[in-house]
Amino acid sequence: MSKFGPEYVRAIAPYQAGKPIAEVAREFGLDEASIVKLASNENPFGVPASSQAAMTKAAADLGRYPDANGFELKAALSTRYDVPADWITLGNGSNDILEIAAHAFVQKGESVVFSQYSFAVYALATQGVGARAIVVPAVEYGHDLDAMAAAIEADTRLLYVANPNNPTGTFIGAAQVEAFLRQVPSNVIVVLDEAYNEYLAPEHQFESASWVRNYPNLVVSRTFSKAYGLAGLRVGFAIAQPPVTDLMNRIRQPFNVNSLAQAAAIAALDDKQFLEKGARNNAEGYRQMTAAFEELGLDYVPSFGNFVLVRVGDDDGAGARVNLALLRQGVIVRPVGSYGLPQWLRISIGLPHENAAFIAALKKALA
Ligand SMILES: Cc1ncc(COP(=O)(O)O)c(C=O)c1O
């Protein structure tokens, strides 16, 4: 154990990312090209061609620093979400937004509320500022918003709500989220993390960005990592009223979103066809996956994201065991034991042949 740094930093368990393809190839003696990775909720179509072209153009200017204010990207987001540009904070991925919020609004010793089984970074961001986590038990693997509102204490400064949630894929409808926002005291910041928003079917879509006008304590967080296919570039953003945005921008590193990422995001934002293709593939892939789970008699949590959580056994070794059997066959998924879900695996929805490869490997692993 290190003798350096504060106790609350030493207590942090590092984030466990999905295993890279090259690492699995090395460890299991497999050909990289044969490996299927469905572990990090990435877009199986990769980078949109529109973003590729924009990056090629932007690459000529890489000798210069990026635009620290992200003028063009904010202008594009401002038009898309109908909010002024000074309501937007850019992030190095939306992960950066989640951390900026903790640094901007929470002091050591104060508390942060989030749900059991919600995105791991909420706990990390909370610990990173020496704050106290109030973890509210989930209901059917999703957020219990009434219990979260009731859990707010005098020293609570921030709540994180993931909608849809990762790793469980659960979703809360507009009316319930807004009823919750009305219950939260106006001095407590709510970060509404909508990393998977673009995967929602039209009947579930609602424009949470417009709520920001009515709730001065609301921060809506979005990302280009999932539906827009730009995970490797690291670009996300937050929408909030100016007094909140102003503080977040003071904490933000000046050049946190690089030039290629800014150019690629602007192009992707307008690429409706790419989004539609992704959403279609996701809906079909979800049906392919869940049909297989039903055939195998496996429980799964109905998902609104680009991934699905499936229970692969009844004992607490099941997730790790089946994960290893999948890795040996060159299929990388995400074990979720660190979330307190040791019987489950989280599978990202891939292309049809990737989903089929996973299903075949799963059948062998369970046999
Ligand atoms: C719920 C949720 N929020 C935020 C993120 C962060 O993504 P990024 O930093 O790539 O925007 C993720 C990534 O998996 C996520 O699942």
Number of residues in the chain: 367
Q: Which domains does the chain have, with CATH numbers?
A: 7-46+273-366 (3.90.1150.10), 57-269 (3.40.640.10)
Distance CA 163, CA 151 (A): 19
Whether 93 lines ligand 1, by a CB cut-off of 6 Å, is yes
For the chain, the average pLDDT equals 96
Which pLDDT value is given to residue 253?
94
Shortest-distance atom of ligand 1 to CA 118: 1
Whether 195 lines ligand 1, by a CB cut-off of 6 Å, is yes
Distance CA 362, CA 8 (A): 39
Give the closest residue (by CA) to ligand 1 atom 2.
195
Residue 18: pLDDT over 80: no
Peptide bond into 167 cis (omega under 30): yes
pLDDT tens column, 289-346: 999 999 999 999 999 999 999 999 999 999 999 999 999 999 999 999 999 999 999 9
pLDDT tens column, 192-203: 999 999 999 999
Cβ–Cβ under 8 Å, residues 9 and 305: no
Which pLDDT value is given to residue 2?
78
Which pLDDT value is given to residue 198?
95
Task: Lay out the sheet containing 344-348: strands in order across.
Answer: 300-301, 307-311, 344-348, 334-335
Shortest-distance atom of ligand 1 to CA 305: 16
* Helices of type H across 82-164: 94-105, 120-128, 145-150
pLDDT tens column, 82-98: 999 999 999 999 999 99
**Average pLDDT of the segment spanning 2-13:** 88
Which pLDDT value is given to residue 15?
82
Closest CA to 164 of 130, 122, 192: 192
Type of residue at 15: Y
Shortest-distance atom of ligand 1 to CA 193: 3
How is residue 336 annotated by DSSP?
-
Distance CA 292, CA 311 (A): 13
pLDDT tens column, 240-269: 999 999 999 999 999 999 999 999 999 999
